[in-house]
Structure 1
């Protein structure tokens, strides 16, 4: 090869590299630090050996996902075990309220947008779970009396606390506060460093990020990480002492979703104990119309299985990034939305959402006006009043209809109305020391909110 030909090739490669770098500037890769189960944090808020919590003692393989962004109430998103005391929430509260840890408490509370005086009430609304997927989060170390954020991939099997909308909130073993991942889930660069080796079974397509459920949850339906046929209903704000079980292998029927919106379809699948799946990295917009499902309506699947949704129209929103779950609640995706409501529903006494008596009356930091996915408001009844008929009129022309059309993110069918508001029972009991194992015969009235017998399957009821 002549020198001129060699230099020409170098120039072509340089130009090609510049073009590629120019394309990347608008949407660069997000660097993510891998965190393995059982691995100690380098700069934790609290020492790993302080007894705040522990990860699963056996390897938990990350489960396949069909869509890298899932709601916090997706059936089977999280796991549990017969030994539910994976997080000592009472000890974490004592540490954070100890005057000797005031600096840490200030930094910790600042990440979660609460004051230090609100820490006990906030912790009372958290629920311990085990990750069943390698999960993207914004993690926080503690350095020089300040919280230091960094994007993190937590391995399946790590124990965390989740809030009332199913969002990761605290890493149990070290007390590090967690926030939703802010990048594009399709454009990440996972770095296995600081002693963390690529774990067995790691697969890029099994990585998931979590966005908040549209409504507060009364309980979270888990899958036992050692016995997948065993489902666990865990009331929000409890640590496992009030668990009830269900048969996770019992078949659920795929509902007829053709013609509904993507948001409505996801809601109906969750209510049926199934998960909404989609192809590609772009999440369909809430108002996109569902044209088909795989498997089709009428098929029967075990708890937490994915139903792939095919949609037409409505566009897509990028996973993560500006349209993803960057805050709680997240910014709305594309399309018109129901006007936000700043006040929570008022039906039922304070504390009916599963929190502590006398404390759940104040809204959690994660609740606000925005609503991702399905809306809790009832669907529109049809065409707006006053709309002209398509036929010929004998009288003067009717005035044009109002421009306020139903929001595209709201359901448009009436064949499957949203579930009736749950009834409330007596205020839930305070958090008691966990027993040696979960209960399996607890009556439904012992739960914060119920809508069906727990022995028939998981409850996905949300608090009113």
Structure 2
């Protein structure tokens, strides 16, 4: 893990740092609640009332110059982009200043390729963030950034090559950014020169459309119990409040909130954290149940992975909050069937199910059909002789007890009592389980 100090030149930058692409600031790292912060956390990033800290237009022109084509291809490849998509991508980024020492995956330019390495960026470094609040570019050198993928608790930082340990460094306060649960429209910043002044910056703008607000104004904690974690996070962010949570990792968006601290109605200053507790039995947002073997999906993509939709690109996840998405079983279960056996809805009610495929396994030996008993006699469901009751409906999952095994069996002779087995068919054994090998198919007699 390499330390990168504010104002320090990179050894192998993508672009000459004397070109004025970006300007770092002198910012003391702020304590953060927990090591993981979502990209839409109010006050996660800072700004100033002066000109923007990143010259996005100059970076765009530099990458478009024919003499920099090789660098442009390496730069785009580090971010999973095509070179012709660079201008549009840069137009969606927003310049900010780090307010916390932040872990990222940085990239130097070596031998015509992007060389990735884990880095700890000091607070005050100017970066561009994407629509989900994830760090995307280090402004002063134009190096592409991706989310940090390692274990924050096990990092070992190397302070060398002019990056001396800075004043105020505290390993316990290092931050990892996760993508916001949805794509952001605006980012709420804090003026690093005047913390009482907040800055609301529309995503994709460089400061010309900023609006100011008072960070000292109290904000009431909304009622959150019973909502999903994703919805609670969005509500708090909308009021300028940050989310904290019990546990070491961010709960799934669909987890149900069981408590908040402080409780609903409490007045807090901008950027203050509200700790959420979630129920142990968690589904996905929307109230669905997570299918076995799958992970609850966020409306936001995860860091580290090439943010599926750039609504989810944040190395620290919280850049924007994704819209909720739910997972659930795709098939309903047949009432009365063993758990996990889906109902067959492909055939109309009352139709005879097609025969099961021949798997080649040896059919079980036929068993003598037990004599029919009087209705109500335990152990059999066969109707009494002479009864006109219709055979039970069947499904593709298992043949009915007492009925023909397949639909290819010829109908019983005219006048035969209902419920009797066809002369050429092999009756199914009531005791045979639904999952046993298919019974021997009846043979047709040529006439």
- SS of 1:286's equivalent in the other structure is coil
Q: How does 1:375-390 map to 2 (within 5 A)?
A: 376-377=323-324
Q: Distance in 2 between matches of 1:266 and 1:51?
A: 37
Q: Which residue number corresponds to residue 239 of structure 1?
A: 206
Preserved CA contact (<8 Å) 1:112 1:365: no
Q: How far did residue 214 of structure 1 move? A: 2.3
Q: How far did residue 375 of structure 1 move? A: 5.3
Per-residue deviation, residues 319-354 of structure 1 (Å, max 9, x unmatched): xxxxxxxxxxxxx9x975469899xxxxxxxxxxxx
Q: Which residue number corresponds to residue 245 of structure 2?
A: 278
Q: Which residue number corresponds to residue 291 of structure 1?
A: 258
Q: Distance in 2 between matches of 1:336 and 1:37?
A: 38
- Find out whether 1:33 has 2:2 as its counterpart: yes
- Find out whether 1:366 has 2:310 as its counterpart: yes
Q: Which residue number corresponds to residue 189 of structure 2?
A: 222
Rate the CA distance shift 1:336–1:152 in 2: closer, same or farther, 3 A. closer
Give the total of aligned pairs: 324
Q: Distance in 2 between matches of 1:341 and 1:168?
A: 15
Q: How far did residue 368 of structure 1 move? A: 6.8
Q: Which residue number corresponds to residue 185 of structure 1?
A: 152
Rate the CA distance shift 1:227–1:339 in 2: closer, same or farther, 3 A. closer
Higher CA-based Rg: 2
Q: Distance in 2 between matches of 1:235 and 1:401?
A: 50
Preserved CA contact (<8 Å) 2:180 2:312: no
- SS of 2:10's equivalent in the other structure is coil
Q: How does 1:245-324 map to 2 (within 5 A)?
A: 245-279=212-246, 281-314=248-281
Q: Distance in 2 between matches of 1:205 and 1:308?
A: 19
Per-residue deviation, residues 5-53 of structure 1 (Å, max 9, x unmatched): xxxxxxxxxxxxxxxxxxxxxxxxxxx1111111111110011111111
Q: Distance in 1 between matches of 2:142 and 2:341?
A: 50
- Find out whether 1:130 has 2:74 as its counterpart: no
Please list every run of 5 or more consecutive structure 2 residues that lacks an aligned counterpart in the other structure: 283-290, 302-306, 343-447
Please list every run of 5 or more consecutive structure 1 residues that lacks an aligned counterpart in the other structure: 1-31, 316-331, 343-362, 389-396, 405-464
Preserved CA contact (<8 Å) 1:161 1:172: yes
| Corresponding residue to 1:159 among 119, 122, 126 | 126
Query: More helix per residue: 1 or 2?
Result: 1
Q: How far did residue 76 of structure 1 move? A: 0.8
- SS of 1:308's equivalent in the other structure is strand
Rate the CA distance shift 1:53–1:375 in 2: closer, same or farther, 3 A. closer
- Find out whether 1:174 has 2:141 as its counterpart: yes
TM-score in terms of structure 2 length: 0.65
Q: Distance in 2 between matches of 1:149 and 1:234?
A: 30
Q: Distance in 1 between matches of 2:181 and 2:111?
A: 37
- Find out whether 1:55 has 2:2 as its counterpart: no
| Higher RCO structure (Cα 8 Å, ≥6 apart) | 1
Preserved CA contact (<8 Å) 2:126 2:138: yes
Preserved CA contact (<8 Å) 1:252 1:302: yes
